[in-house]
Structure 1
Amino acid sequence: MTLAVATKSKRSSRRALTVAIASLLGATLFWAGNYVVGAGAVESIDPLSLVLLRWSLALVPLLAIAHVVERPHWRQVLAAWPWLIALSVFGLLGYNLLLYTALEHTDAFSASLINAFNPALITLAAAAFLRERLTRRAVGGVLIALAGVLLVLSNGDLDKLLHAGFGTGELFMIGAIAAWSAYTITGRLAPPLPPITATAMQAGITVAVLTPLSFAAGGPALPPTQGAIISLAFIALFPSVMSYLLWNRALTVIPAGKAGVFLNLITVFTAFFTILAGHPYSMAQITGGGIVIAGILLTGARGHRAGSWPFSRRRRQPGNLEP
């Protein structure tokens, strides 16, 4: 290989890496937007309707993109229907329904801080259900992250938390990360499927399940204002479609385990949006969030065997991404 060819190859690799990093930043930015915009959307759209409308609007573009980009063998995909149903119930349906319900009772920043504990919870779930080995570093990281979460939940007053317990929003958010942990563990056991295709199928199942439930409850609540319409359009397009495309594009260049570290930016971006919008925040939230992220980074720093992160499997995940 000549010097000119080698130099050109290096430039191409650097350019690809730059694009991949930008893609990860875009994906996490849009997922952070799901918290901030979702908190506003639930003021006029109930959580069940919001989940139904979100995936109804995202379904067609996801199917079209999956067909063009991944060219899946649809019979093979449909053969995995029991796994797809389970993934849909835990993830696209369960997690999002619990998340949006939580956002009716707590602010987006607090919800994202609790969500930041999810990788640590997944590590514990993988040890319990997949028999993955935990090291002292991993245990220490989980305990540090848990301390940060408790600081956030108590707003710096642990004694008050012991006497008053968790708030409604915090309880729903804890349920949300438990649902996502179940989604991740199920995804590791499921047969490998192209991620965008699997996400599209799960979106279809979510719509099929929620549609009769919504009409039984009086029908889906359509966005009543222009602001609500814009919020719904943002949620359906960017966190539901664009983030998945950007994330999967980045994974063609950056190893999945390293890409998973970027998920901590969801909390960082949400904090930035919160401060920028002038919403109130406390030092306990900032400090607790920093402690959670530090614990998660410690947990992921060779603290467990390859595969404990939800994005570090050797085979492709069935759409196992942050929603």
Structure 2
Amino acid sequence: MNLQKTLGPQASSHLRLIGMALLWGASWPAGRMVAQHMPPLAASGLRFVLAALVLLPWMYMAGGMGQLKTWPTRRWLGMAAAAATGVFGYAAFFLSGLQHLPASKAALVITLNPVVTLLLAAWIFKERLNRTIGLGMLVAAIGAALVISHGNPLQLLSSGVGVGELMILGCVVCWVSYTLIGRAILTGVDALSTTAVTSTMGAIMLLLASLLVEGPQGMANAVQAGGVAWGALLFLAWGSTALAYAWYFDGVKALGAGAASGYITLVPVIGVICSALWLGEQVDASMLVGGALAVAGTAVMNWGRRQPAALAGAARAG
């Protein structure tokens, strides 16, 4: 059977996007393995050093190095801000949170990303929200609250949020900031250049922070970690970072950003499944119900964001 004929001319792009979702979903149990054996800042620094060793040559072969000389100071400052939030802050919170929280639960909490991003985009950039998007945001937020509170959202008012949950919520804040900074400052820069440069800058920030906070022993402990931890770290660097981004860029180029982003809805589901299979983590009823609501809400939001474009296209066709 010819897969290209069965799935259509863009079959390879769809398959790469499925692979991207698998790699990003598997990053949660892999991160949990790393967090249990390495100091978080040292491990994060090594992760992005390894990623930069792939991304920078890739950028060079794509002909992107020449543009760096023409970038104005404002763009470099934007890159530094994006690196500080999307790489340094996110990576530090990611592994720190996974020291305290099961990977499956963390993967579901992160579904708050699109909710917070859309709310702030509506406030800062006056992006329009419709009823479908609003419904999706509400459903996703309720789902995330159920996961964070173990099925009892009112408990958040009395006992607050645990350390692990706070760290993963820090991931949400950093990723949303990274997204909004990219929209405000980095318009016109291709995704590969942004990823390569911010990964390199973030790696330097993480290594310096590790030296200051964890001391030289932190890096020594990371280097001396066992084969399982290093295997997971290499997977995070070259699988979940370099290869997954390559497949995502291919999907955006071939199918458009809307279609490609739809596959991201699969990431938390895959994260929960991989965590249960690889780490033996227990998935309770609150995670199943809350996770299903969070994923469904994200899907509804994506659908709602495509509605205006579809209506505009229909109006032009008419």
Shorter-normalised TM-score: what interval? 0.7 to 0.9
Aligned equivalent of 1:195: 191
Q: Cα offset for 1:223?
A: 4.2
CA RMSD, 1 decimal: 2.0
Number of the residue aligned with 1:275: 276
Q: CA deviation at 1:70?
A: 4.6
Any conservation in 2 of the 1:133–1:305 contact (CA below 8 Å)? no
Q: CA deviation at 1:163?
A: 2.0
Q: Which residue, out of 12, 15, 22, partners 1:19?
A: 12
> In structure 2, do the counterparts of structure 1 residues 244 and 78 end up closer, same or farther at CA, with 3 Å as the change threshold?
farther
What do the CA deviations read for 1:257-300 (whole angstroms, capped 9, x no partner)?
A: 12111101111111211232332110110111110111112222
1:76 to 62, 70, 78: 70
Given that 2:133 and 2:302 are in contact with CA atoms closer than 8 Å, whether structure 1 keeps it comes out as yes
Distance 1:15 1:228, change over 3 A: same
* Corresponding residue number in structure 2 for 1:42: 35
Deviations 1:235-266 (A, max 9, x none): 11101110111111112211101211110111
One-letter code aligned to 2:143: G
The residue that corresponds to 2:314 in the other structure is none
Match of 1:97 in 2: 92
After superposition, give the CA deviation of every residue in 1:196-244 in whole Å (9 maximum; x if it has no partner).
1221111121122233332233122324211112111111110111011
After the TM superposition, which parts of structure 1 deviate over 6 Å for at least 4 consecutive aligned residues? 304-307
1:134 and 2:129 correspond: yes
Q: Is the 8 Å Cα contact of residues 28 and 275 (structure 2) preserved in structure 1?
A: no
Shift of 1:304: 7.7
Matches within 5 A, 1:113-192: 113-189=108-184, 190-192=186-188
For residues 81 and 29 of structure 1, the distance between their equivalents in structure 2, rounded to whole angstroms, comes to: 32
User: Per residue, is there more helix in 1 or in 2?
Assistant: 2
Consecutive unaligned residues of structure 1, counting only runs of 5 or more, are: 1-10, 308-323
What's the counterpart of residue 292 of structure 2?
Answer: 290
Measure how far apart 1:88 and its partner are: 0.3
Answering whether residue 26 of structure 2 is matched by residue 33 of structure 1, we say: yes
Give, in whole Å, the separation in 2 of the partners of 1:187 and 1:53: 24
- Identity score, percent: 25
TM-score (norm 2): 0.87
Partners of 1:70 and 1:197 within 8 A in 2: no
Distance in 2 of aligned mates of 1:209 and 1:275: 33
CA contact (8 A) 2:97 2:163 kept: yes
